[in-house]
Structure formats: C-alpha cells, structure tokens
C-alpha cells in the first residue's frame, strides 16, 4: 500500500497518463528512472517537473517503497536536468508537495524545479482566511 494520506495510486492521474504517452508534455529530459517536462502553469521563468517512472503517490510513498536504484536514479536525474538546463551557476529551488497541508494536487510524486529569477522567501504567507 502507498504510504501517505492520498490513497492508493490512481492509474488515471494526469502524470500517469503523460508517462504512458496519452497526454503530451513539453519534455526536457528522460531516462529509465525519470521524466522531466515543463509545468503547464509556470510560476517562474523556469518551472520544470521531474517525475519518477513508477506508481508512487507522493514523496512519502516514494521514499518508503521505491527500491534503492530508483531512488538514486531519480535524484540523479533531477540533478542532471538542472545541469542540462544550465542552472547551476545562478541557482535554483527544488520543491515537493506531500499531502493535504502542502496542497499536493497531482497524486504522482514529483519534484518542482524553479529558476530564472530571484525566488524570494521559501514560504509565501497564506492569504487571509487560510
Ligand atoms: P502539486 O501542487 O505539487 O501537485 O503540483 C502539480 C503541478 O502540476 C502544478 O504546478 C500544475 O501546474 C502542474 N500540471 C498539472 N497538469 C499538468 C500537465 N498536463 N502538464 C504539465 N504540468 C501540469
């Protein structure tokens, strides 16, 4: 069973469909462990998503269930994407939402890679009422 409050893996989630080639994406990198593509609603000049090629609902699920080769291969792919995009000099931010309080929308583990401008504070204050 997946380890997170998000329930079992949904084979119809949008990133599963992208992995199966059912929905297009603007691909920036792919290897046996990971696929990276531009976010459809970018929040920075560079906003890329890196997803593992496996049925992992969240970081909690991935870190508990993925085998060692997948964990190493996935995180090496994240670094490769940043390097291939030429982001290492100016810097970048990695972010992974996990579960309800984080606002995770897509129940397939993914890392956001942001770059291309000063990224400000790590956490933006919640809007009034949140
Ligand atoms: P999260 O809130 O961490 O689950 O982030 C989900 C991200 O997926 C958001 O930044 C969305 O803009 C992005 N997203 C949703 N659908 C697509 C898609 N079809 N292609 C690329 N990015 C997407």
Tell me the two tokens of residue 97.
């939402």
Tell which one of 16, 41, 47, 50 to mutate to probe ligand 1, the residue whose CB is within 8 A of the most ligand atoms: 41
Average pLDDT over residues 101-111: 96
Q: Is residue 121 part of a domain?
A: no
pLDDT in tens, 29-71: 999 999 999 999 999 999 999 999 999 999 999 999 999 999 9
Q: Is residue 123 part of a domain?
A: no
38 flagged as catalytic = no
Tell me the two tokens of residue 64.
């508990």
User: Domain holding 61: CATH number?
Assistant: 3.30.428.10
Instruction: Give the confidence band of 92 by pLDDT, cuts at 50, 70, 90.
Output: very high
Q: Is residue 103 part of a domain?
A: yes
* Helix%, strand%, coil% for the chain, nearest 5: 25, 20, 60
Q: Is residue 85 part of a domain?
A: yes
Q: DSSP for 80-124?
A: HHHHHTT-TTT--EEE---STTTT--SSS--EEEEESS----SSP
Instruction: With beta carbons less than 8 A apart as the criterion, state whether 45 and 120 touch.
Output: no
Domain range for residue 77? 14-115
Residue 101 in contact with ligand 1 by CB distance below 6 A: no
Q: Is residue 128 part of a domain?
A: no
Q: With 70 as the cut, is the pLDDT of residue 1 above it? A: no
**How many distinct structural domains can be found in the chain?**
1
């Amino acid at each position: 069973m997946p380890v997170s409050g998000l329930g079992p893996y949904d084979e119809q989630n949008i990133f599963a469909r992208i992995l199966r080639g059912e929905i297009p994406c603007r691909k920036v990198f792919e290897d046996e462990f990971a696929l990276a593509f531009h976010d459809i609603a970018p929040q920075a000049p560079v906003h890329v998503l890196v997803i593992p090629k496996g049925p992992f609902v969240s970081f909690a699920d991935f870190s508990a269930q993925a085998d060692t080769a997948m964990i190493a291969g996935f995180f090496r792919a994240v670094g490769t994407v940043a390097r291939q995009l030429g982001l290492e000099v100016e810097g970048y931010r990695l972010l992974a939402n996990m579960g309800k309080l984080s606002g995770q929308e897509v129940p397939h583990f993914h890392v956001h890679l942001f770059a291309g401008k000063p990224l400000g504070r790590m956490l933006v204050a919640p809007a009034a009422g949140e």
